[in-house]
Amino acid sequence: MTRRIFITLEYDGGPFCGWQRQKTGLSVQQVLEEAAASLTGQQIMVQGAGRTDAGVHATGQVAHLDVPDKFDANRVMEALNSLTNPHPITILGAREVDPETHARFTAVGRRYLYRILPRRQPPALDFGRVWHHRAPLNVDAMQDGAAHLIGRHDFTSFRATHCQADSPVRTLDELRVETVGAEIHIHAAARSFLHHQIRNITGTLALVGSGKWTANDVAAALAACDRSAAGPTAPPEGLYLTEVRYPVGS
């Protein structure tokens, strides 16, 4: 008999090759699976809700793992926090769920944050955790550009050329740009996202914020359905997976 445990975790993506196991490089998934194996004495798969890329961080990633019945959620959380040390991964919470509930496929929404530091001087304390954009950016102009992307669209222009999703159509429920202290934050929410979608959107909105593009240029890039029509891919270090939502009661 096994229990299915959902864990909520945060991690600094800087030292990792991404969430997913790779033939070369250390991944978040590998660290967790090795910790779970040490705990249980068995090979355990840890399934994440989002496959974050190398350098991308998380404050609200969710994953599940099936463990022998003698391990309850609290024991799993405490053990994983001990066994993943000194890697920058922390299990924030754990709960038992129905065996049919899946961290990735049961999710009904995901939320991301992208942090930009628009100043000439580089960050010291937040190095590797924000996009250091050396020129100032107009937040209002960026929000005007973002407005063209909210809703259901073909996002071919804003997905990676090697994206493996069956369809480029996604519904963007929220795309909000705001100033927070010295930083600019971009909040994005949808049921699911395409590969590099948020980073490509961010790189495009930065063109608008710097005055190189207008908001109408964003609309034209979207309509082109061609990756080369949109802006550059923003770097990974500013991106955070902040929340994964599930149906009530799951």
Q: What is the pLDDT of residue 69?
A: 95
Nearest C-alpha neighbor of 204 from the set 126, 148, 122: 148
Residues with Cβ < 8 Å from 138, sequence gap 6 or more?
Answer: 208, 209, 210, 211
Nearest C-alpha neighbor of 55 from the set 240, 220, 195: 240
Q: Output DSSP code: residue 158.
A: G
Q: Which long-range contacts (CB under 8 A, 24 or more apart) does 116-124 make?
A: 116/183, 116/184, 116/185, 116/186, 116/202, 116/206, 116/238, 117/182, 117/183, 117/184, 118/183, 118/184, 118/209, 119/182
Asked if residues 63 and 5 have their Cβ atoms less than 8 Å apart, the reply is no
How many Cβ atoms from other residues are within 10 Å of residue 122's Cβ? 11
pTM for the whole structure: 0.96
Q: What is the pLDDT of residue 218?
A: 98
Token digits of residue 134:
């050396």
Q: What is the pLDDT of residue 60?
A: 98
Q: What is the pLDDT of residue 223?
A: 98
Q: What is the pLDDT of residue 250?
A: 75
Active site residues: 53
Q: What is the pLDDT of residue 248?
A: 85
pLDDT along the chain (250 residues), means of 10: 96 97 94 97 96 97 97 97 97 97 97 98 97 97 98 98 94 98 98 97 98 98 98 98 92
Q: What is the pLDDT of residue 94?
A: 98
Q: What is the pLDDT of residue 157?
A: 98
Which domains, ranges and CATH numbers included, belong to the chain?
2-97 (3.30.70.580), 109-245 (3.30.70.660)
Asked if residues 52 and 4 have their Cβ atoms less than 8 Å apart, the reply is no
